[in-house]
Chains A and B, each alone.
Chain A
């Protein structure tokens, strides 16, 4: 227990942990500020303004139609090339007023029920990135600075040391994620109250938010574990960060281009972010626009591939088992020079 407390203390004392956490929270705060600036509460004034805008647009459409009709009649009378006009110029009419919806002219508003689920994705993404980098640095810097060797002189049980470090890291990440998620919820609830609406919340919606939030926390823990394991394998923070950059740039961007050139079906299914997105959204539907799935009515629809959070969970499990297993194995077997 003393080792766990020590490692937790070491984690929180590290400047890198503090700066990365502060950086991640700052980005989240900026997103909230952006939402406050770009959204407005909808009231009678906004509806009146929207009606004015709709009327104005209708008037513009009427004037335009009249002018075009006049142009059409003039062109036909002079025998000009009138291919782009209908045969009967009277067909050029303005849309009816009711087809221009006033809602189109309303300012952006933050509807908590519709938006919060989506807004949990940037929270999870930023926290997962912080988790990955902090996890990698936490053990990588220890290896690099000789701290791990010092610690092993005090606690010669290698696996216990590594797993305790990981436990401390994950506890620290949970201690970051839970209040951060609560603060995110609170901030967006305030934004909705001030610049939108919180109406329409049902127990089902709350449950859905809770589950999405939980999946976000799991994503953070997975990212932190993989970063930790990679840095431990390479005994350097750069191993994890370099690996991540390589995977993202070469493995993802490069692979995406290659798959597109090769016209592979459902190319996104080979890309990691798709699985992270599927994990958070529960389902991602990929479509193959080059295929035709005929319906009874003879309509041609693209073939679809549905990726669910269960697929993602399998991928995450395999990744964690593989990387962490390798890190533990090398910790046990390799000399510490």
Chain B
């Protein structure tokens, strides 16, 4: 499938006389294929918004290569801006204009037909409140307006940074349906969010960024499979046999943790070998279930941002390059 968005070796360094140098993006790579819903994940301060801003020409990169729809950006942005809809970070609009005025001015600036304004207002559920000033809107309504502004161009590539931020549960579900429908209509969607359950539900593929570098990418299933710990839950016909089974499995090299009514095994490549081993001991398995990992646990593992009791993690304390090791705190990230 052709790539709609490609980033290679993107670098962005912030220099401050007082606080030193910080690499916001440190050779970041990303690839999004046409028609996909692509999740873009990372802890706070990992470089997600910097990536999106750089991609959209708002920030000047220090190195690397970016293409959107086959065109090098930022040089070709004026040619392709009409095909890229985006909201970046929290929605910001002039507070004294109504939603309709806001969209109408954008449509006029972008030479979009006026009827499209009402179409997108309908699409995001703001039709009946479109005449009210934006300053009276809740965060969720502003978010809907932001999505409407991004959809106004009927873009080929839609970039949504935290689109579910501030939405009520119904709104989140509507957003999910909207994104899926847009993808089905052929639109490519890049979705940055911290609601990982949502990402797992609606995304075809993901990129995970940590400290300015990609730490995982690919189809959601593959990323989950790659980071599955091979955990298996085992139940026996007779609970009294669990200690014997635990001993046998331990001797065979499995990591076993005993629970009152089942055993948990880790690092199991082939569950069939467990069945065979226990059967040879005269122990009969009533349940052998692989324990599925979810995107949240993979994210926390890869970025090393899982909360630890008694510790207060700082925003830039996450995984270092290649996900191999955890970074030491770097004085708030500056001075690296």
| Residues of chain A at the chain B interface (Cβ within 8 Å) | 2-3, 5-7, 9-10, 13-15, 141-142, 145-147, 149-157, 333, 335-337
Contact = CB atoms under 8 A, between A and B. Distances in A.
Interface string B64-97: 0000000000100110010010101001111111
B58 interface: yes
Interface of B: 53, 56-60, 74, 77-78, 81, 84, 86, 88, 91-97, 101, 105-106, 108-111, 149, 153
A131 B1 CA distance: 54
A335 B149 CA distance: 22
Contacts of B96: 14-15
Given A2-B108, A336-B53, A13 B101 contact: yes
Contacts of A337: 53, 58-59
B95 A145 contact: yes
A16 to B, nearest CB: 8
A146 B90 CA distance: 10
Given A6-B105, A154-B109, A147 B81 contact: no
Contacts of A10: 105
B108 A153 contact: no
A153 B81 contact: yes
A142 B97 CA distance: 12
The residue among A15, A150, A152, A155 with the most chain B CB atoms within 10 A of its own CB is A150
A8 B140 CA distance: 30
B109 A155 contact: yes
Given A142-B94, A156-B77, A156-B78, A149 B58 contact: yes
A189 B163 CA distance: 61
Contact of A153 (B56, B60, B95, B101): B56
Given A13-B101, A154-B110, A155-B109, 9 more contacts: A5-B108, A6-B105, A6-B108, A145-B92, A152-B57, A154-B109, A155-B78, A156-B74, A336-B53
A41 B324 CA distance: 94
A3 B111 CA distance: 8
A150 B81 contact: no
B70 to A, nearest CB: 17
B92 A6 contact: no
Contacts of A3: 109
A337 B97 CA distance: 23
13 contacts: A2-B110, A7-B109, A9-B105, A145-B94, A146-B92, A149-B92, A150-B149, A151-B109, A153-B86, A154-B106, A155-B81, A156-B57, A157-B78
A336 B93 contact: no
B105 A152 contact: no
Nearest to B133: A15
B81 A154 contact: yes
A153 B77 CA distance: 9
Contacts of A155: 78, 81, 109-110
B75 to A, nearest CB: 10
A6 B56 contact: no
A152 B96 CA distance: 20
A156 B81 contact: yes
Contacts of B108: 2, 5-6, 9
A6 B109 contact: yes
Contact of B60 (A14, A152, A335): A335
A158 to B, nearest CB: 8
A7 B81 CA distance: 19
A20 to B, nearest CB: 14
Contacts of B81: 153-156
A14 B101 CA distance: 11
A7 B110 CA distance: 12
A335 B54 CA distance: 9
Contacts of B59: 335-337
B71 to A, nearest CB: 12
A9 B107 CA distance: 12
A3 B107 CA distance: 10
The residue among A142, A149, A333 with the most chain B CB atoms within 10 A of its own CB is A149
Nearest to A3: B109
A155 B77 CA distance: 9
Contact of B111 (A2, A141, A145, A336): A2
B93 A145 contact: yes
B110 A149 contact: no
B168 to A, nearest CB: 23
A157 B110 CA distance: 13
B164 to A, nearest CB: 19
A150 B106 contact: yes
Contacts of A7: 109
